[in-house]
Amino acid sequence: MKPKKKDIRSLSKEQLRAFFEKNGDKAFRGNQVYEWLWHKSLHTFDEMTNISKQTREMLQENFVINHIEVDSMQRSEDGTIKNGIRLHDGFIVESVLIPTEKRTTACVSSQVGCSLDCHFCATSRLKRMRNLNPDEIYDQVVAIDRQSQLYYNRKLSNIVFMGMGEPLMNYKNVLKSIEKITSPEGLGMSSKRITVSTSGVPKIIKKMANDEVKFNLAVSLHAAIDKVRSSIMPFNEKFPLKDLADSLIYWYEKTGRTVTYEYVVWDGINDKKEDIKALIDFCQHIPCKVNLIEYNPIDDGRFQQASSRAIDTYISSLEKHDIIVNVRRSRGKDIDAACGQLANKS
């Protein structure tokens, strides 16, 4: 049996250059192919017009270009577009385009399913099947950038890793994808416009600080009392708030970058005075801001968005302590494209 062909995009530029040299060609050919693969995002060798037919055939014999396919597309009444993305091995993940007046944001997935078990999140019901490769994350960004140009006449401006999966449980590939997204040899986007959202894996947050990453960090906090947090995000037992706080202090000391806490207020779960007090205390660790996100129902009776009075109390209490707080309205709810609703319903 013939050995399985390697995915050419798993090779670094250096490896691609070495491949051509080894095969009696110029290393420079590697640069040309690399540019087609990443900067121009081609998915077939035949379109590489400055590469000879013979070389293209040689590449075809040795490699495949695994790539994603937009399998389904749903458009919300607010303009949000949810894409079902088919991976080369048939798995489906979801990526969302979120337009606002001035921006287009891509919300991308990092895993098939999710490693974590947050009770309020639809994705947690899907077992983690595998991590996405860097090219699969990159391709989602390219696909949404194209949709943004097609439907909104402007380029993609921001990226959030808030789709399916826990990005820090696939840290290596997420980092590689961001390297490609920000490199002039890839999409040349600014890392300031990229936000990685995590439920909080302390060891990896410290690693990110050591790696001196330049993108933004958001932490899905939802509760600042261990008992409460563990009851809705069971993995908190393994990574308690104290460890999370330590890693965030380390992050801030190393990078000088603030953190955004994402927080949903639920009726009877985290809407008490002591919950607010704990959040205010947690916010003292490092400079931060709080995004209060609207709850997107996932048919689980235990979770109901708290009353607007409870939310107003949160806002005024945080503001009294000079903590910046934003209220985030959800987008694409009518098509299950909002935070926590990604679960391949179709």
Q: Contact positions toward ligand SAH, by CB under 6 A?
A: 120-121, 162, 166, 197-199, 220, 262, 264, 293, 295-296, 298, 339-340
Residue 104 or 115 with smaller CB distance to ligand SAH: 115
Asked whether the beta carbons of 138 and 181 are under 8 A apart, the reply is: yes
- SS3 state at 111: strand
CB of 168 to ligand SAH, least distance (A): 8
Asked whether the beta carbons of 15 and 6 are under 8 A apart, the reply is: no
Picking from 322, 309, 317, 338, the residue whose alpha carbon sits closest to that of residue 273 is 317
What is the β-pairing status of strands 81-86 and 69-75? Answer: antiparallel
What is the β-pairing status of strands 216-220 and 259-263? Answer: parallel
CB of 33 to ligand SAH, least distance (A): 34
Is residue 94 annotated as a catalytic residue, yes or no?
yes
CB of 89 to ligand SAH, least distance (A): 22
Residue 16 or 219 with smaller CB distance to ligand SAH: 219
Do you know the residue count of the chain? 346
Which of 118, 121, 288, 339 is the catalytic position? 339
Residue 65 or 228 with smaller CB distance to ligand SAH: 228
State phi, psi for 219 to the nearest 5 degrees: -120, 125
Which of 57, 94, 121, 294 is the catalytic position? 94
The residue number whose beta carbon is nearest to ligand SAH equals: 340
Alpha-carbon gap, residue 300 to 304, rounded angstroms: 9
Asked whether the beta carbons of 337 and 76 are under 8 A apart, the reply is: yes
CB of 340 to ligand SAH, least distance (A): 2
Residue 232 or 323 with smaller CB distance to ligand SAH: 232
Is residue 47 annotated as a catalytic residue, yes or no?
no
Q: Which positions are annotated as active-site residues?
A: 94, 339
